[in-house]
């Protein structure tokens, strides 16, 4: 990327931090939901299928949000859509505190999910377009590392707030990003590359373009990759506190263990951020995916508290490192005119996996299927994603993104 299409260093750092905070708030909301459903299961006497429905409704909203926001960001700019999606999910999250029953909560989680799903691909596209080519991959992975900070914050809230003040207070804290969105509107500007590009395609042309010519192979690979990664991540991590509870640990102890596991996400991101510019996108993605698959089998078969913690730490480390590499890789495979559309559509298809994953776990748990068999499904899914990258992916390290 030429200097004309990247921001000055000071603005680049400000953008990374500002967009990163929006990711932190997104992760906090998703993470809180995993802890809240564990508390709701006790208070509202929810079955495993109902728990899966609540977590999946969030992902259903993310499917629509990712696709719509990606399309709109190529038309109206990255910054405007980033701010609106942040407002939508934070307001819906705050209102979730006043849900009086499962039906109302499901509607609000759909709306919150739409905002969440839209914000993530738009933010990664904005950062990817705003930094020099040699820093691009590292910058997006560092942006993704704010996700780990958000999960850690959610785990802290779950550990200290939910047992004392209830799940409603956790949702109210999820409304805080609405205030931050007002600041973000002034602090962030659209990428130079987006502002300078003169090609304006219609919606039909943009959607057709990502499945045409050189983009077709990349789109197929990305859709498989996103589906398998999101399917396994949401299936495993949204159920993690409940799974620890099912293993015989009390609710507060489950929250404590998940907090420890979540801390491992940060070094996972940082190592991926370092290696992605040294070894390339494909190698890091495949390596971290394979090690995630191994960790999934380990966690599913672990019995003692020590083994569960060790397996969970490895699962967090490698899975979130792979997420960072995936977010860095995806925008690099499309030209500017359709980049946000391509990223949004890949993320939207992946979010379908995020819908299915928690539902599948809920159904299997309800039927008495063991965790080792459930995690075996995630093992296979992650291997399919790694194979897609190896067979269909192209290396984009140090390459101009147009």
* DSSP output for 273-284: HHHHHHH-HHHH
Instruction: State mean pLDDT over 188-203.
Output: 74
Q: Are 344 and 121 in contact (CB under 8 A)?
A: yes
Domain ranges of the chain: 8-185+209-392
**Separation CA 13–CA 24 (nearest Å):** 16
**pLDDT of 193 over the 50 cut:** yes
254 pLDDT band, cuts 50/70/90, is low
**pLDDT of 367 over the 60 cut:** yes
Neighbour tally for 274: CB within 10 Å: 13
Percent of the chain with pLDDT over 90: 25
Tokens of 57: 């409704």
**pLDDT of 33 over the 90 cut:** no
286 pLDDT band, cuts 50/70/90, is very high
**pLDDT of 241 over the 70 cut:** no
Give kind and range of the element (H or E) at residue 194: helix 192-196
Q: Which fold has domain 8-185+209-392?
A: Growth Hormone; Chain: A; (1.20.1250)
| Between residues 243 and 71, the one the model is more confident about | 71
**In angstroms, what is the C-alpha Rg of the chain?**
20
Indicate left, alpha or beta for 100 from its phi (over 0: left) and psi (-120 to 50: alpha): alpha
Q: Which pLDDT score, from 0 to 100, does residue 232 have?
A: 92
**Separation CA 219–CA 293 (nearest Å):** 23
Q: Are 388 and 224 in contact (CB under 8 A)?
A: yes
Q: Which pLDDT score, from 0 to 100, does residue 199 have?
A: 66
Secondary structure (3-state) at 89: helix
- Please state which of the ranges 1-15, 74-88, 297-311 shows the lowest mean pLDDT: 1-15
**pLDDT of 125 over the 90 cut:** no
Q: Which pLDDT score, from 0 to 100, does residue 251 have?
A: 52
**pLDDT of 2 over the 60 cut:** no
Q: Which pLDDT score, from 0 to 100, does residue 25 have?
A: 87
Instruction: State mean pLDDT over 231-245.
Output: 77
Q: Which pLDDT score, from 0 to 100, does residue 198 have?
A: 60
Q: Which pLDDT score, from 0 to 100, does residue 1 have?
A: 45
Q: Are 24 and 117 in contact (CB under 8 A)?
A: no
Q: What backbone phi and psi angles, to 5 degrees, belong to 101?
A: -165, 175
Query: What pLDDT digit, counting tens, does each position of 293-337 carry?
Result: 999 999 888 877 788 888 888 998 999 899 989 988 998 898 888
Q: Which pLDDT score, from 0 to 100, does residue 400 have?
A: 66
| Between residues 246 and 350, the one the model is more confident about | 350
pTM of the predicted protein model:
0.80
Q: Which pLDDT score, from 0 to 100, does residue 235 have?
A: 86
155 pLDDT band, cuts 50/70/90, is confident
Q: Which pLDDT score, from 0 to 100, does residue 18 have?
A: 85
Q: What backbone phi and psi angles, to 5 degrees, belong to 370?
A: -70, 160
**Separation CA 331–CA 124 (nearest Å):** 8
Tell me the average pLDDT of the chain: 84
Q: Which pLDDT score, from 0 to 100, does residue 4 have?
A: 47
Pick the most confident of 24-28, 237-241, 316-320: 316-320
């Amino acid at each position: 990327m030429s200097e004309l299409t990247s921001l000055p260093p000071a603005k680049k750092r400000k953008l990374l931090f500002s967009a990163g905070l929006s990711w932190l708030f997104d992760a906090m909301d998703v993470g809180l939901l995993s802890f809240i459903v564990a508390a709701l299961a006790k208070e509202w006497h929810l079955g495993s299928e109902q728990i899966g429905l609540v977590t999946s409704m969030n992902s259903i909203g993310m499917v629509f949000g990712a696709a719509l926001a990606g399309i709109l960001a190529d038309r109206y700019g990255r910054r405007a859509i980033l701010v609106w999606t942040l407002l939508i999910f934070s307001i819906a999250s705050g209102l979730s505190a006043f849900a009086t029953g499962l039906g109302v909560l499901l509607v609000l989680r759909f709306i919150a999910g739409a905002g969440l799903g839209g914000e993530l691909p738009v933010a990664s596209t904005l950062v990817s377009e705003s930094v020099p080519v040699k820093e691009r991959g590292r910058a997006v992975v560092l942006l993704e590392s704010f996700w780990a900070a958000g999960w850690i914050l959610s785990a802290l809230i779950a550990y200290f707030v939910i047992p004392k003040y209830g799940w409603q207070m956790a949702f109210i804290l999820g409304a805080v990003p609405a205030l931050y969105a007002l600041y973000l509107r002034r602090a962030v500007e659209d990428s130079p590359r987006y502002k300078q590009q003169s090609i304006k395609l219609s919606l039909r042309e943009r959607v057709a373009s990502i499945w045409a010519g050189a983009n077709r192979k990349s789109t197929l690979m990305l859709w498989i990759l996103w589906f398998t990664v999101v399917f396994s991540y949401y299936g495993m991590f949204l159920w993690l506190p409940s799974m620890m509870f099912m293993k015989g640990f009390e609710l507060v102890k489950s929250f404590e263990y998940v907090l420890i596991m979540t801390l491992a996400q940060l070094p996972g991101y940082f190592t991926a951020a370092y290696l992605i510019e040294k070894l390339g996108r494909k190698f890091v993605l495949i390596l971290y995916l394979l090690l995630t698959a191994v960790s999934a089998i380990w966690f599913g078969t672990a019995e003692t508290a020590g083994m569960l913690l060790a397996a969970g730490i490895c699962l967090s480390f490698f899975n979130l490192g792979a997420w960072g590499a995936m977010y860095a890789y995806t925008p690099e495979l499309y030209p500017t005119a359709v980049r946000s559309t391509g990223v949004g559509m890949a993320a939207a298809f992946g979010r379908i996996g995020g819908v299915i994953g928690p539902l599948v776990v809920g159904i299997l748990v309800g039927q008495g299927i063991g965790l080792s068999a459930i995690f075996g499904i995630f093992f296979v899914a992650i291997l399919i994603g790694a194979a897609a990258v190896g067979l269909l992916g192209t290396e984009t390290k140090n390459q101009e993104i147009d």
